[in-house]
Amino acid sequence: MKITDVKTILANRYLFVEIHTDEGLVGIGESGTCGFLDASTGAVETLKTYLIGQDPLRIEHHWQYMYRCWHFRGAAIMGAISAIDIALWDIAGKFYDTPIYNLLGGRCRDKARVYAHAGGKTTEETIANLKKMKAQGFTAIGHLTPFLDESRGDPYFITHAKEIGEAIERIGAYREAVGNDVDLCIEVHRRLKPNDAIVFAQGIAPYLPYFIEDPIGADNFDSMAQVADKINVPIATGERLNNLQEFAMLIKRNAVSYVRPDVCMCGGITGAKKIAALAEAHDLMVVPHNQLSPASTAACLQIAVSIPNFALLEYPGDDQPALSEKFGATGVENGVLKRDVVKSTFKCVDGFMEIPTAPGIGIELADNVAEKYPYCRRPLKTRLHVDGSGVDQ
């Protein structure tokens, strides 16, 4: 069996990759490069020059070849490698007529616990969404920002005391709203500096958050370790990292409790499996980052059910639009839901998602998806402070 074509499909806010073979098998994958899908598309086109004519079942070899062919790497390239890797695994599963997890050692569990999203522009709106998610059966709810989902178009200013004080009170209100029947996954989105993050985390500890995600920027592992050393709330991070070595450096510093690889960014199923094994060796749990299309969810589920140290899977909802413009970003939603870009999705009951049973990744793109849902580039918008400087959000 040989690869005959590698196609990029830009649809709505997503970049998919299709790999075709001379035996008629077609694999699909997705790139997690978000606002830079055009750059990732270019990377796929370059990698295509190597892949044509290759045996698609030599997945590890192709991964190593693509990863090592340049002196420079980055998110756009790793998103491309990830999408290709997922598509190759999809082909392998279809070739052997089995879900991918059976090629990874089989199922460790029969379903995957997920956490839903409950954002809001006000405390009241967020609490209403929390209660709604709880009523739907979710036992873990995330994307809970203590700073609310404010527009990036609004200039930002607030005193330290008001910012941290209100944030702590808000987490207390979230806990009071749902009691201890729901685990709260707190999303900070790298908005704080180390000292502020320490004060905030110490303040919310009595409310027993499941984790605090990205309390500071993900670039400085030493700073993350500084925060982790001074707080009693578990840190979840890793969605912005794109290779195994970055996760190793983070773990070596005891800077993380819940490892968050993005299957569409960290090297695909091959990369995520290695990161999960690294985490297992250090007694750490894995919470896959999953904010893209149902194709990403399908790939994440293959990992979730095949590793022993899986904790939770992020599930933003297939009946929701692309997250690239939600939660305080700018732009106009076009009415396209995640489920629209695929032929079918997976059921979620009482906070647990069913696992794929079809061969390969277990999901197929909708027919003519690019024509039905034209590509919309994510607009560039960074929030500014009232003094004109950039603000993390």
Residue in 71, 117, 289, 385 annotated catalytic: 289
Residues 213 and 183 reside in one and the same domain: yes
The H-or-E segment that residue 11 falls in is strand 3-11
Q: How far, in Å, are 108, 141, 152, 172, 351 from residue 138 at the CA level?
A: 21, 7, 29, 19, 4
Q: What is the DSSP letter of 72?
A: -
The DSSP string of 314-381 is E---TTSB-GGG-TT--S---S-BGGGGBS----EETTEEEPP-SSBTS--BPTTHHHHS---PPPP-
Tell whether 181 and 298 lie within a shared domain.
Answer: yes
| 234 and 211 Cβ atoms separated by less than 8 Å | yes
Nearest in space to 62 (alpha carbons), one of 266, 230, 268, 304: 268
3-state secondary structure 215-265: CCCCCCHHHHHHHHHHCCCCEEECCCCCCHHHHHHHHHCCCCCEECCECCC
State the pLDDT at residue 329. Answer: 44
Say yes or no: 335 and 266 in one domain.
yes
Position 30 scores a pLDDT of 98
340 and 264 fall within a common domain:
yes
CA distance 304 to 119: 24
Q: Do 14 and 57 lie in a common domain?
A: yes
Residues 142 and 15 reside in one and the same domain: no
At residue 379, the pLDDT reads: 85
Pair 35, 63 in one domain: yes
Lookup result for tokens 């933003």: 316
Q: What is the DSSP string of 105-157?
A: T--S-SEEEEEEE---SSHHHHHHHHHHHHHTT-SEEEEE-TT----TTS-B-
Residue 141 lies in a domain: yes
Does residue 374 fall inside a structural domain?
no
Residue 17 region, left (φ>0) first, then alpha (ψ -120 to 50), else beta? beta
Final residue in a domain of this structure, among 97, 116, 143 = 97
Task: Report the DSSP beta bridge partners of residue 19.
Answer: 6, 27
| Residue 91: closest CA among 27, 28, 30 | 27
**CATH value at residue 21:** 3.30.390.10
Pairing of strands 26-31, 348-349: unpaired
| Residues 6 or more apart in contact with residue 365 via CB below 8 angstroms | 9, 11, 16, 18, 28, 295, 341, 342, 343
320 shares its domain with 250: yes
- For residues 140 and 175, give the distance between their C-alpha atoms in angstroms, rounded to a whole number: 12
Asked if 117 is an active-site residue, the reply is no
Q: Specify the DSSP class assigned to residue 5.
A: E
Give residue 81's domain range.
Answer: 3-97
Instruction: State yes or no: is 289 an active-site residue.
Output: yes
Give pLDDT, residue 324.
57
Long-range contacts of 365-372 (CB under 8 A, 24+ apart): 365/9, 365/11, 365/16, 365/18, 365/28, 365/295, 365/341, 366/340, 366/341, 366/342, 367/343, 369/9, 369/11, 369/16, 369/341, 370/9, 370/10, 370/11, 372/11, 372/340
The CA distance from 162 to 378, in Å, is 32
DSSP state of 30: E
pLDDT (tens, 9 = 90+) of the chain, 393 residues, equals 999 999 999 999 999 999 999 999 999 999 999 889 999 999 999 999 999 999 999 999 999 999 999 888 889 999 999 999 999 999 999 999 999 999 999 999 999 999 999 988 999 999 999 999 999 999 999 999 999 888 888 999 999 999 999 999 999 999 999 999 999 999 999 999 999 999 999 999 999 999 999 999 989 999 999 999 999 999 999 999 999 999 999 999 999 999 999 999 999 999 999 999 999 999 999 999 999 999 999 999 999 999 999 999 999 999 988 875 554 444 445 689 999 999 999 999 999 999 999 999 999 999 999 999 999 988 888 999 999 999 988
Cβ atoms of 355 and 112 within 8 Å: the answer is yes
- Main-chain phi, psi angles of 111, to 5 degrees: -155, 165
Same domain, 279 and 335: yes
Closest to 100 (Cα-Cα) out of 364, 362, 360:
360
79 shares a domain with 134: no
Q: Does 368 fall in a domain?
A: no
Tokens found for residue 70: 């340049």
Among candidate residues 52, 53, 3, the one with its CA nearest the CA of residue 25: 3
Q: Which of 97, 118, 146 is the last residue before a domain boundary?
A: 97
**Exactly one of 62, 160, 189, 282 is catalytic; which is it?**
189
* Structural domain count of the chain: 2
> What CATH number did the domain enclosing 353 receive?
3.20.20.120
Tell me what pLDDT residue 326 has: 53
Task: Note whether residue 119 is domain-resident.
Answer: yes
Supply 96's token pair. Answer: 């052997």
What pLDDT shows up at residue 328?
Answer: 41
Alpha-carbon span 204 to 211, nearest angstrom: 11
One domain for residues 91 and 122: no
Q: Are 201 and 328 contained in the same domain?
A: yes
